[in-house]
Amino acid sequence: MGDLRGKVAVITGAGSGFGREFARHAARQGMALVLVDVQADALGATVAELEAIGAPLMHRRLDVTDGEAMHALAHDAWARYGAVHLLFNNAGVGCTGLVWEASVQDWEWVLGVNLWGTIHGLRAFVPRMLEEARENAGYRAHIVNTASMAGLVDPPLTGPYNVAKHAVVSLAETLHQDLSLVTDRIGCSVLCPSWVGTGIAASDRNRPAAAAAQTRGAAVGRALVEKAVASARLTAAEVARMTFDAIAERRFWILPHPQALDGVRARNEALLAGQAPPDPYAALPQLRGQLVDALRAP
């Protein structure tokens, strides 16, 4: 990608977490920004902060599940800035509970934001990026899809989230393969963090439909997620820095928690051996015991 000064970054989920940190980092690099979030007040806070330091930007309250709105965003970004160089398909939400307890609304919401939001982002922006690459020999671009370690292993009590993030990993790998056939000027990465101090535990604040299920499984899972996020050692700012390093190096995999790869390795070894999936909490027997006790209690 070279020097990012004067180039343009589009960031979904820019109101908090990774999205806000991507925006801060891009602004420090002298980039112009296109910021999107479904939560108006959170987006407004990011916009106000970055406008105060003089970052050129446009912003829009937008639901990434709306494909037409994403296409309109791409059109307007090109009309405003002439090109887009970085695309962060970052918006994400989650819910908890035993997989058979998840409602249709749970599945539609989590898959809609995490997976369909990424699909809409690719469909809206990649064709324009390819056209730009054909017309401008100096054009370079990069796409980052935010997935999760839950896209590489399958912890219990987060079924819709796991499914969505596995799909995002698959989508990113396929994007990498497809782009390699048609251009060497557009790269892509997939970000797979473990627990980081973001607002993912409070996803319900932006839930548009029915309230989340109030089952025992949902409550146990929610407590687990909240504790893990609160105790996370790695910050969203550190993950943003790692992500921009990966962009500069054109690295596909962005894995901020290398210790979590033990679980990926165990899963792959079990797959190759034809064995059942290993327990993601095998190294934390006390935690597994607590979950079993909580879910089997009368």
CATH number for the domain harbouring residue 113: 3.40.50.720
Residue 218 lies in a domain: yes
Residue 210 lies in a domain: yes
Residue 287 lies in a domain: no
Average pLDDT over residues 53-68: 97
97-131: per-residue pLDDT in tens? 999 999 999 999 999 999 999 999 999 999 999 99
Total tally of structural domains belonging to the chain: 1
162-179: per-residue pLDDT in tens? 999 999 999 999 999 999
Over 80: is that where the pLDDT of 202 sits? no
270-282: per-residue pLDDT in tens? 999 999 999 988 8
Torsion of CA 269, 270, 274, 275, to 10 degrees: 160
Residue 243 lies in a domain: yes
Residue ranges making up the domain that contains 189: 8-259
Over 80: is that where the pLDDT of 203 sits? no
Residue 147 lies in a domain: yes
Confidence of residue 210 (pLDDT cuts 50, 70, 90): low
Residue 280 lies in a domain: no
- CA pair distance 66, 109, nearest whole angstrom: 12
Over 70: is that where the pLDDT of 15 sits? yes
Give the number of other Cβ atoms within 10 Å of residue 219's Cβ: 14
Which of 13, 295, 297 lies closest to 157, judged by CA? 295
How many CA atoms within 13 Å lie on the side-chain side of 86? 34
Distance of CA 131 to the CA centre of its chain: 26
Residue 296 lies in a domain: no
| Percent of the chain predicted with pLDDT > 90 | 86
Task: Report residue 189 as tokens.
Answer: 């990465």
Rounded to the nearest 5°, which phi and psi values hold at 32? -85, 150
Rounded to the nearest 5°, which phi and psi values hold at 160? -60, -40
pTM, 2 dp: 0.95
Q: Which of 81, 139, 161, 281 is catalytic?
A: 161
Residue 19 lies in a domain: yes
Does 81 qualify as catalytic in the annotation? no
66-90: per-residue pLDDT in tens? 999 999 999 999 999 999 999 999 9
